[in-house]
């Protein structure tokens, strides 16, 4: 992901409850989804194509990653 993210609009889930211990997501121009640590906003960010992000969020909602 490009180093200049000054114009990127990041957001947290409404489920975060104001906690700083979560990730932030941005829909990046050029058809990618950015993900970063909310505690380190100037740090590295990951970029995913929309299909991969959709598959991840669907798996998360389904409980696939829940600990047993």
- Yes or no: say if 4 and 49 are a contact pair by the CB < 8 Å rule: no
Mean pLDDT, rounded, for 51-56 = 95
Beta bridge partners of 45: 36
Confidence of residue 30 (pLDDT cuts 50, 70, 90): confident
pLDDT surpassing 60 at residue 2: no
* Lowest-confidence region among 29-33, 53-57, 59-63: 29-33
Q: What's 22's DSSP letter?
A: S
**pTM for the whole structure:** 0.74
User: Quick one: pLDDT at residue 26?
Assistant: 95
- Yes or no: say if 38 and 12 are a contact pair by the CB < 8 Å rule: yes
Alpha helices in 1-68 (DSSP H): 50-62
pLDDT surpassing 90 at residue 14: no
């Amino acid at each position: 992901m490009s180093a200049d993210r000054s114009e990127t609009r990041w957001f947290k889930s409404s489920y975060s409850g104001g906690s700083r211990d979560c990730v932030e997501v941005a829909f990046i121009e050029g058809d990618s989804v950015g993900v970063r640590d909310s505690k380190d906003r100037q740090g590295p960010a990951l970029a995913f194509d929309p299909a991969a992000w959709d598959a991840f969020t669907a798996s998360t909602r389904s409980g696939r990653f829940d600990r047993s």
